[in-house]
Amino acid sequence: MRPYPPATLHPSRGSLPVLLSVPHAGREYDAVILANAAQGRQSLEMLEDPFVDRLCWRAIGAGIGTVVQNVPRAVIDCNREEEEVDPAVIENVSPAPVGPRARYGLGLIPSRTHRHGTLWRRRIDRAELQRRIDEVHRPYHHLLEKELEALTGRFGEAVLIDCHSMPSRAGQAEMVIGDRHGASAATWLCEEAARIARKAGFRTALNDPYAGGAIVARHGRPAAGVHAIQLEIDRATYLDRDGRTPGVGLDRIAGFLEMLAIGLGEALLSRGIKEAAE
């Protein structure tokens, strides 16, 4: 049984207290996973945030630290808590799903989607669940913790931008910025993120319809100087019409993500300098 691949860390090389997280970038499926896919590979690909890791290239080039998960979300979702387990996919667990997302089939290991229905032919055993937690989920969060600790130790404060993509829907914003309604980041910082997005020409919403998942909930501790913001990007802004291949807007979004990271980092630093002078 091959170990799952580790997350990729692009270390911070700049002078800004910013870290990017890309938890749903994985798109390589081994034969065992595909053999168990009841509806085939396409049903698993629907869970991906297509090419969001590629949107980070300009920010990485500017020295912004970035953590990219290489294991697909269908295998295990790093934006869920370990306890969010759906018994439809795990043998010998509690008969009731833990948490509302698990009840809808989108728990720690997704069990179904609205379009494809049941994802898996067979449930996995508890040993395999624990292996995925130990090899994929926990190392990803530990890496985020380590990098955020290093940034806060150096700068006093830091901001985590957790990057996702969302399906296009009529009337929906192109950028949704979530801070769990002020629980995972200082309100002024989330508002600054929205200001940067609107200035860049994007229709922007705060906490609606996505307020933030387990990553920002776990790592955001604004009272301790660690701010965590979830960014949802409309796929139509950077993918082709098929929704699976990069489109003409990819470089524009990469430029925006660089601008957002730099803008929030500079805002944190300038606020800290101002408060120190008062």
Q: Write down the pLDDT at residue 271.
A: 83
Task: Count Cβ neighbours within 10 Å for each residue of 95-111 and write b for 16 or more, e otherwise.
Answer: eebbbebbeebbbbbbb
Question: C-alpha distances in angstroms, 114 versus 50, 119, 188?
Answer: 18, 10, 36
pTM: 0.96
- Read off φ and ψ for residue 116, nearest 5 degrees: -105, -10
Length, in residues, of the chain: 278
Query: Which among 146, 119, 157 has a CA at the least distance from the CA of 266?
Result: 157
pLDDT greater than 50 at residue 277: no
pLDDT digits over 143-165, tens only?
999 999 999 999 999 999 999 99
Q: Write down the pLDDT at residue 276.
A: 44
- For residue 216 the two structure tokens come to 């920002």
In the chain, what are the domains? 8-277 (3.40.630.40)
pLDDT greater than 60 at residue 111: yes
**Distance in angstroms (rounded) separating the CA atoms of residues 272 and 265:** 11
Is residue 269 within 8 A of residue 70, CB to CB? The reply is: no
pLDDT greater than 80 at residue 272: no
> 3-class secondary structure for the chain?
CCCCCCCEEECCCCCCCEEEEECCCCCCCCHHHHHCECCCHHHHHCCCCCCCCHHHHHHHHCCCEEEECCCCCCCCCCCCCCCCCCCCCECCCCCCCCCHHHHCCCCCCCCEECCCEECECCCECHHHHHHHHHHHHHHHHHHHHHHHHHHHHHHCCEEEEEEEEECCCCCCCCEEEECCCCCCCCHHHHHHHHHHHHHCCCCEEECCCCCCCHHHHHHCEHHHCEEEEEEEEEHHHCECCCCCCECCCHHHHHHHHHHHHHHHHHHHHHHHHHHHHC
Helix orientation angle between 250-277 and 187-199, rounded to the nearest 10 degrees: 140
Read off the pLDDT band of 98 (50, 70, 90). confident
The residue type at 197 = A
pLDDT digits over 208-251, tens only?
999 999 999 999 999 999 999 999 999 999 999 988 899 999 99
